Structure 1
């Protein structure tokens, strides 16, 4: 029931009319798998889930799993701020042959800690055979899932991991120290991946891996293999690119770079706006001479 170290929170490709670009989906998935991703979160918040219909989400789950097969874990983003809906779409996602569930903390509603516990309990019970990853991102959802609440959740057998984007390393360290050995803690912020691993975390659910996947994967593997200096060197080199992926509201910057790679179009769904030409030019300067750092000198 464990996931691998590098998971990509995958974008959803759209065409100029706002429809899902189904033809672009397979090249995108193949690109992510070829550049180091061992798991894909589909229709998560980076996939613009609030703008996707239920039918679109289910179709994405099925199609991505069909493409990826057994090469990567396909994790369905089913969390919303509506517990009943989250429960229902989680039940439907199980029939799509996916490998796991991700559920974000309920946004806007500002539920209590007890409210969040019951919310995630119902989501987990809707997919009893699948591992569930909780996504804690206070900056977007307003609420912070406190360590005490998360530790209580580990009593639910299929809640197996958390994507942490709180930026609070005291909190993260407490969770790592007090959760069972099987429980996985991932960074939900690319630039925090190496610091999180240094206190015992597993890896990252990444956005930057869309365009720097090999380097993210190498950094993670070098640290896990006992080469922290090499990992730190890669972290420092990657940092400007990680930050550039959020120069405008995500996932617009990543979509802009993926368009430069010829994989998808830059289009987003409102209220998000695609990058302008000037913004693409600015972003390309950060990634010049190419979207990925050379890592040959780190190879054995």
Structure 2
């Protein structure tokens, strides 16, 4: 199935570019009071991520409310991100997930035109696809565009848990360069990383909980918290990889508190409220999502205060 739909050699050559690794910040999309995308605040958010030590950024992904953005808005966000990040050698991955193949293809084309290094793509959501459907999507996209792809294994969003068979087939698709394992449990991440070492760059995701053992074999982590926590995630990730146990132990409670905040509402709502607590207003989520209610904001404030998150962030500056 994969061979019959394999991209041309010229297209697949892009697959072997610079490997992705390290901390990739997953950005929210700021909106102004009218509900329009706020590109000035988006630029300032990029600056925060770069100052926090991000090796890459992911734009217009699910936490960035990609499904609620227009094609024009996505294109503009991709372009702004590459303009800010490319001169600093920071990779930009475009969120290209959508329901229709034609829309996914359009997002990939826009990402290439903007100079993005790759795209992040979910398996088909909602429809509970077969392995053939999942692999077929990635092969179809790879045939059409020489855009390296990160497969987003996020069963809580799609209802589909990628099997070992599916991941093995996806690893054969030339433009598939990385896999984000957005599922709890260090064991599965380590097994997947070991099985596909040298073929896929396997990333974990801090939105599904902090590690309890070292991130064996992982290329990096995608972080929804990096944009709001200075160098905390960068320091935590480096400490894991360097075996700095004392640093990991010191930062682990803060990472656990951050994870607890995601139980208060949608990811965009929680992250935007967290930024607002720092005086960095990026607006409310776009409908049908809503901002956190007052009771949830109070709970967020209590978690951040009791976890001494602000003090921890300042100590790492």
TM-score (norm 1): 0.90
Tell me what 1:241 maps to: 258
- SS of the residue corresponding to residue 95 of structure 1 reads helix
Q: How many Å apart are 1:292 and its aligned residue?
A: 5.6
2:189 touches 2:204 (CA, 8 Å); kept in 1? no
Q: Which string of whole-angstrom CA distances, capped at 9 and with x for unpartnered residues, describes residues 127-172 of structure 1?
A: 32x4310101111110112122112222222311111112255543
Tell me what 2:93 maps to: 75
Report the Cα distance in structure 1 between the residues aligned to 2:230 and 2:19, rounded to whole angstroms: 20
Tell me what 1:291 maps to: 310
- SS of the residue corresponding to residue 178 of structure 2 reads strand
1:162 touches 1:185 (CA, 8 Å); kept in 2? yes
Tell me what 1:165 maps to: 182
Q: How many Å apart are 1:226 and its aligned residue?
A: 2.3
1:244-259 superposed matches below 5 A: 244-259=261-276
Distance 1:259 1:36, change over 3 A: same
2:48 touches 2:230 (CA, 8 Å); kept in 1? no
Distance 1:120 1:196, change over 3 A: farther
Number of matched residues? 297
Q: Which string of whole-angstrom CA distances, capped at 9 and with x for unpartnered residues, describes residues 164-204 of structure 1?
A: 11225554333212113252111124454534753322231
Tell me what 1:109 maps to: 127
Report the Cα distance in structure 2 between the residues aligned to 1:186 and 1:39, rounded to whole angstroms: 12
Q: How many Å apart are 1:101 and its aligned residue?
A: 0.9
- SS of the residue corresponding to residue 284 of structure 2 reads coil
Tell me what 1:125 maps to: 143
TM-score (norm 2): 0.86
Report the Cα distance in structure 1 between the residues aligned to 2:286 and 2:21, rounded to whole angstroms: 30
- SS of the residue corresponding to residue 267 of structure 2 reads coil
Tell me what 2:5 maps to: none
Extract structure 1 runs of 4+ deviating beyond 4 A: none
Distance 1:295 1:22, change over 3 A: closer
CA RMSD, Structure 1 to Structure 2 (Å) = 2.2
The reply on whether 1:201 has 2:233 as its aligned counterpart is no
- SS of the residue corresponding to residue 7 of structure 1 reads strand
Structure 2: 5+ residue stretches without partners: 1-17
Tell me what 1:181 maps to: 198
Distance 1:42 1:210, change over 3 A: same
Tell me what 1:26 maps to: 43
Structure 1: 5+ residue stretches without partners: none
